[in-house]
């Protein structure tokens, strides 16, 4: 189920009038409407107001807020308020609070910290959600339900331990099987009874750096906690569905955050929504990657549920977005698949943890601020864009595989590097495609490959047999497959594949890898291509690749014992080609590698500069999003001279002149 078709883009954000006197509400709404705000996410943290004692509800304030918005023609995204518990509840039922990795039970405070396996939590949260669903299921102006908020974190309480044992029993059936899968004979961990198993925590089987002794157990606990929280989502969703089959249901995700297997989650969500909070100096390709990942969860448009109009507050330095930067980032989101542009939040909190987080109405509460004016300008623009754009699809010939289990597995590993970041490695590959102007889909190991010309699986540590077989067919049939260091090492229990690294892909890749060096940043070495031209440098993980029947595209060079050893290889297999990249190559080298990977395919390389061009298509139209991600003026060739220019009365000719953070949208009829 999708959200109902909207005539124009959803434009708005989180709104918490419960923090303000009622007499100010209409005044604020009047201001927001001048900015063409048309949607408000409400009721995100109101449980303590709605349920003042167990089973005693008071919807007076929420009714008023909903009436206020309805009267003002503002649509509603209605949250369930279960992401932060009332103080009375924790006092009455301490088991609802989580126990941390040091075994300490938390007291009331903060948010996103209910034990997902607490029966009290489930009973009480469902009680509230049922009341909400019954009361508001037929709100005319509701866009969708918003379950809880930013699910995250794990619990380590005894109740979770008990549920974990049941989860394991159901998965492994008998304890001998579990022992085998977990390789429990390691360090005398053999279990004889399910009750002997505890969650891996710092006071049990995790080291101080959070890495586990039994990697299989740690992985299962990550799966179990992700599932437990997903179950919290599902029971709320099912409760709502009982009363309301008309509105879509979502919860706001957080990009590549580690805790939850979002591919599994997305299956249970009607539409994906997410919160985009890049740090000010983060490469713009990272934001693009996050959008593509969020789109990739369902290979469908998504809601941009939150972004800040001006600045965050939790970074070491919270820089202001520059003039035009918020607009640029908003269009980047749309270009990558967003159906909405929403802010956290519409009115800035006067106190508390988020008081210095930016907002549409800042602390001055004025419409004359730069922030408000930029929000208003964007609101006016979006109101003129066709609603059809919201459902247009992004098309890519290249797919990059993202996999939460590999993310967990490789970051659980002790060695070869202490601080390996899975997401950084995905971004290393993504950025090279981005810099070549190539659109990318981010997919899971379970997705279809048939529409892609190039499939890239970086650090796919726990490559599944089904994916291996899929990829083998893909290459046989002419596809280009790229994989890297630390890929295809372990099975689903994090047991290294018998026969060694890459064993199941040895034929496809035509190589072997037995040794893997690790180099710090001050030990970087050169990479030469097969004409002995330096194409870049590398450090971190350095695989010593043995090219059995693969061609050597590049080799290490320098005062090292593996000077001249292959680092990048290409193997012809069937009608296709399989490329292996054995090291953490720098930007320049990756750029050169991606150009070579794509040459001879239907993937078109555009010189990208700092201008991003994305296309979203419907049956009848193509929308070109041409975005200057820099604060300098840039001139580029018009990629589609025949197209209509949106957003502007300006005509564009053969060349397009993009101002600082400038955006041009072209519509081409098919």
Using CB under 8 A as the binding rule, the residues of this chain from 505 to 534 that contact a copy of itself are 512, 514-520, 523
Closest CA to 286 of 612, 659, 617: 612
314 is a contact residue toward a copy of itself (CB under 8 A) = yes
d(CA 426, CA 458): 6
Nearer to a copy of itself, 404 or 562 (CB): 562
Does the footprint of a copy of itself cover residue 118 (CB under 8 A)? no
Sites for a copy of itself among residues 401-430 (CB under 8 A): 413-419
Q: Which member of 2, 131, 354, 470 binds a copy of itself (CB under 8 A)? A: 354
Residue ranges in 32-61 that form contacts with a copy of itself under rule CB under 8 A? 45-49, 52-53
- Looking at 64, 105, 258, 298, which residue binds a copy of itself (CB under 8 A)? 105
Q: Which of 18, 51, 150, 236 is catalytic?
A: 150
Which one of the spans 33-41, 228-236, 486-494, 575-583 is the region binding a copy of itself (CB under 8 A)? 486-494
Q: Of 84 and 613, which CB lies nearer to a copy of itself in the complex structure?
A: 84
> What is each CA distance from 30 to 73, 74, 260, 651, in whole angstroms?
11, 11, 39, 35
DSSP lists the bridge partners of residue 207 as none
Q: How far apart are CA 74 and CA 67, in angstroms?
A: 10
DSSP character for 17? G
Q: What is the CA radius of gyration of the chain?
A: 26
Q: Which of 14, 28, 150, 205 binds a copy of itself (CB under 8 A)?
A: 205
Residue 234 engages a copy of itself in binding (rule: CB under 8 A): no
Beta strands in 117-246 (DSSP E): 142-146
- 99 vs 436 by CB, closer to a copy of itself: 99
Binding flag, residue 317, a copy of itself (CB under 8 A): yes
Which residue among 225, 287, 310, 332 contacts a copy of itself (CB under 8 A)? 310
Beta bridge partners of 433: none
Q: Closest by alpha carbon to 41, among 73, 8, 80, 71?
A: 80
**Residue 4 and residue 143: Cα distance in Å, rounded?**
7
Asked if 85 and 166 count as a contact pair (C-beta separation under 8 A), the reply is no
Q: For residue 443, state whether it binds a copy of itself (rule: CB under 8 A).
A: no
Query: 183-202: which residues touch a copy of itself (CB under 8 A)?
Result: 183-193, 195-198, 200-201
Q: Six-digit token pair at 335?
A: 């270009």
| C-alpha dist (Å) from residue 638 to 26, 309, 395 | 45, 30, 19
Choose one: 63-71, 212-220, 421-429, 649-657; the region binding a copy of itself (CB under 8 A).
212-220
String marking each residue 543-582 x if it binds a copy of itself according to CB under 8 A: -x----------------x---------------------
Q: Least distance in Å: CB of 550 to a copy of itself? A: 17
The reply to whether 359 sits near a copy of itself by the rule CB under 8 A is: no
Q: Which lies closer to a copy of itself via its Cβ, residue 337 or residue 540? A: 540
Residue from 65, 96, 214, 440 touching a copy of itself (CB under 8 A): that is 214
Q: Which residue's CB is nearer to a copy of itself, number 172 or number 625?
A: 172
Q: If binding means CB under 8 A, how many residues of this protein chain bind a copy of itself?
A: 117
Four-CA torsion 67, 72, 78, 84, nearest 10 degrees:
-80
* Residue 26 interacts with a copy of itself (CB under 8 A): yes or no: no
Binding status of residue 18 toward a copy of itself by CB under 8 A: yes
By CB under 8 A, the residues from 319 to 348 that bind a copy of itself are 319-320, 322-323, 348
Is residue 242 a contact residue for a copy of itself (CB under 8 A)? no
Nearest to a copy of itself of 183, 388 (CB atom): 183
Nearest-angstrom CA–CA distance, 525 and 416: 18
Contact 249, 233 (CB under 8 A): no
Active-site choice (306, 325, 425, 612): 306
Tell the burial category of 365 from Cβ atoms under 10 Å away from its Cβ (0-12, 13-18, 19+).
middle
If one asks whether residue 255 binds a copy of itself (CB under 8 A), the answer comes out as no
In the annotation, is 150 catalytic?
yes
Tell me which residues in 134-193 interact with a copy of itself (CB under 8 A): 182-193
Among 495, 601, 609, 638, binds a copy of itself (CB under 8 A): 495
User: Could you give the CA distance from residue 86 to residue 109 in angstroms, rounded to a whole number?
Assistant: 9
Task: Count how many residues are written for the chain.
Answer: 670
For residues 624-653, which are near a copy of itself according to CB under 8 A? 631
Q: Does 487 bind a copy of itself (CB under 8 A)?
A: no
Region class of 322: left (phi > 0), else alpha (psi between -120 and 50), else beta: beta
> Residues 439, 445, 451, 454: is their CA dihedral positive or negative?
positive
**Tokens, residue 267:** 């299956």
234 is in an annotated binding site: no
For residue 157, say whether it is annotated as part of any ligand binding site.
yes
239 is in an annotated binding site: no
User: Where does residue 558 fall: left (phi above 0), alpha (psi -120 to 50 degrees), or beta otherwise?
Assistant: left
Q: Which of 107, 162, 267, 575 binds a copy of itself (CB under 8 A)?
A: 107
| Secondary structure of 251-293 in HEC code, one letter for each residue | CEECCCCCCCCHHHHHCCCCCCEEECCCCCCCCHHHHHHHHHH
Least separation in angstroms between residue 515's CB and a copy of itself is 6
**Dist. CA 133–CA 118, nearest whole Å:** 22
**Is the distance from CB of 613 to CB of 638 less than 8 angstroms?**
no
* Residue 115 labelled as part of a binding site: yes
d(CA 263, CA 56): 37
CB of 490 to a copy of itself, least distance (A): 7
Beta bridge partners, 634, equal 658
Q: Which is nearer to a copy of itself, 98 or 480 (CB)?
A: 98
Is-contact 354 45, C-beta < 8 A?
no
One residue of 10, 40, 66, 85 binding a copy of itself per CB under 8 A? 85
Report if residue 257 touches a copy of itself, rule: CB under 8 A: no
Interhelix angle 284-298/325-335, rounded to 10 degrees, is 30
> Does the annotation list 506 as a binding residue?
no
For a copy of itself, which stretch binds (CB under 8 A), given 65-73, 106-114, 575-583, 637-645?
Answer: 106-114
Q: How far is the CB of 197 from a copy of itself (least distance, A)?
A: 7
CA dist 78 and 133 (Å) reads: 10
Residues identified as active-site: 150, 306
- Detail the residues annotated as belonging to a binding site for substrate: 111, 149, 314
Annotated binding residues, as ranges? 111, 115, 149, 155, 157, 160, 314
Binding site listing for Zn(2+): 115, 155, 157, 160
């Amino acid at each position: 189920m999708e959200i109902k078709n909207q005539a124009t883009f959803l434009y708005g954000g989180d709104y918490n009038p419960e923090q303000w006197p009622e007499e100010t509400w209409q005044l604020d709404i009047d201001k927001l409407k001048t900015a063409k705000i048309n949607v408000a996410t409400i009721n995100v943290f109101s449980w303590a107001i709605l349920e003042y004692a167990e089973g005693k509800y008071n919807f007076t304030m929420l009714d008023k807020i909903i009436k206020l918005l309805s009267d003002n023609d503002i649509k509603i995204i209605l949250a369930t308020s279960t992401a932060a518990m009332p103080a009375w509840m924790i006092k009455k039922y301490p088991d609802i609070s989580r126990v941390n990795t040091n075994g300490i039970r938390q007291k009331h405070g903060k948010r996103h910290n209910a034990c997902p396996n607490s029966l009290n939590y489930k009973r009480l949260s469902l009680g509230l959600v049922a009341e909400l669903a019954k009361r508001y299921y037929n709100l005319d102006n509701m866009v969708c339900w918003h379950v809880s908020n930013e699910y995250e974190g794990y619990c380590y309480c005894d109740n979770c331990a008990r549920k974990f044992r049941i989860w394991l029993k159901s998965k492994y059936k008998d304890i001998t099987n579990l022992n085998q899968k977990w390789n429990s004979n390691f360090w005398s961990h053999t279990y004889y009874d399910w009750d002997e198993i505890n969650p891996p925590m710092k006071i049990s089987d995790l080291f101080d750096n959070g890495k586990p002794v039994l990697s299989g157990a740690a992985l299962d606990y990550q799966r179990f906690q992700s599932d437990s929280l997903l179950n919290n989502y599902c029971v709320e969703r099912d409760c709502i569905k009982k009363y309301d089959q008309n509105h879509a249901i979502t919860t706001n995700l957080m990009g590549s955050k580690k805790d939850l297997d979002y591919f599994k989650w997305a299956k249970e969500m009607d539409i994906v929504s997410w919160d985009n909070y890049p740090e000010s100096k983060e490469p713009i390709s990272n934001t693009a990657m996050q959008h593509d990942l969020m789109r990739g969860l369902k290979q469908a448009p998504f809601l941009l549920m939150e972004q800040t109009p001006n600045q965050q507050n939790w970074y070491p330095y919270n820089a202001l977005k520059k003039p035009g930067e918020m607009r640029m980032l908003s269009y980047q989101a749309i270009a990558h698949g967003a159906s909405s542009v929403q802010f956290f939040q519409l009115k800035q909190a006067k106190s508390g943890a988020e008081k210095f987080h930016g907002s549409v109405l800042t602390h001055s509460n004025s419409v004359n601020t730069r922030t408000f004016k930029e929000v208003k300008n964007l609101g006016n623009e979006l109101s003129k864009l066709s609603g059809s754009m919201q459902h247009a699809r992004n098309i890519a010939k290249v797919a990059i595989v993202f996999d939460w289990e590999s993310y967990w597995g490789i970051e659980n590993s002790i060695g070869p590097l202490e601080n390996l970041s899975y997401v950084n490695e995905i971004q290393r590959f993504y950025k090279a495609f981005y810099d070549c102007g190539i659109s990318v889909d981010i997919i899971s190991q379970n997705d279809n490959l048939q529409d892609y010309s190039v499939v890239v699986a970086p650090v796919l540590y726990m490559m599944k047999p089904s994916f291996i077989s899929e990829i083998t067919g893909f290459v046989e049939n002419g596809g280009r497959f790229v994989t890297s260091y630390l890929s295809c090492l372990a099975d689903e229990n994090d047991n290294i594949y018998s026969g060694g690294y890459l064993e199941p892909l040895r034929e496809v890749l035509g190589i072997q890898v037995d040794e893997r060096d690790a180099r710090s940043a001050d030990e970087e070495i050169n990479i030469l291509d097969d004409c002995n031209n330096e194409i870049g440098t590398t450090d971190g993980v350095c695989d010593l690749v043995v090219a059995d029947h693969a061609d050597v595209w590049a080799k290490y060079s320098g005062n090292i014992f593996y000077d001249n050893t292959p680092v990048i290889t290409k193997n012809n297999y069937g009608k296709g080609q399989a490329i292996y990249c054995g090291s953490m190559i720098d930007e320049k080298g990756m750029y050169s590698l991606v150009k070579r990977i794509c040459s001879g395919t239907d993937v078109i390389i555009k010189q990208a500069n700092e201008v991003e061009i994305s296309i979203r298509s419907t049956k009848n139209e193509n929308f070109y999003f041409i975005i200057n991600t820099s604060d300098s003026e840039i001139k580029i060739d018009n990629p589609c001279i025949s197209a209509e220019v949106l957003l502007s009365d300006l005509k564009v000719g053969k060349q397009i002149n993009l101002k600082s953070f400038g955006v041009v949208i072209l519509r081409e009829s098919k």
